[in-house]
Amino acid sequence: MGDRFAAVRSLPQPTDAITAWVELEPEAVHFLDAVFSSGSGLANVRREYRDDPPRRMFKVFIAPGCADEVRRTLARAARYVHIGEVRVET
């Protein structure tokens, strides 16, 4: 029997997601997760966070090439929940 996954192995390596840390209130994480979950896979909101007093920064993975759309989505979401600083890891 041949290699069943030869075609998959021949595909180009995907580009890594961008990691961002977004200042959110814990209650807003669920809202933001719902916003991005209902879309076309722009970003994935994680429950992982860093305390940076007085802020709490939650991890968000951004799909390659989608950073601008995620920024626009965050700006629209900020009308409904507090979204503070956004730090993109380089």
Q: Is residue 60 part of a domain?
A: yes
72 domain-assigned = yes
Residue 26 tokens read as 């814990």
**Tokens (6 digits) for 33:** 């997760």
Residue 65, pLDDT > 80, answer: yes
CATH code, domain with 59: 3.30.70.2750
pLDDT of residue 79: 97
Q: Number of folded domains in the chain?
A: 1
Instruction: For residue 7, tell me if it sits in a domain.
Output: no
Q: Is the pTM of this model over 0.75?
A: yes
Angle (deg, nearest 10), helices 67-77 and 28-37: 130
Tokens representing 21?
A: 């840390």
Decide if 18 is inside a domain. yes
Q: Could you read off the pLDDT of 9-64 as tens digits, one per residue? A: 888 877 789 999 999 999 999 999 999 998 778 999 999 999 989 999 999 999 99
Phi, psi of 65 (to 5 degrees): 80, 5
β-pair partners for 61: 19, 44
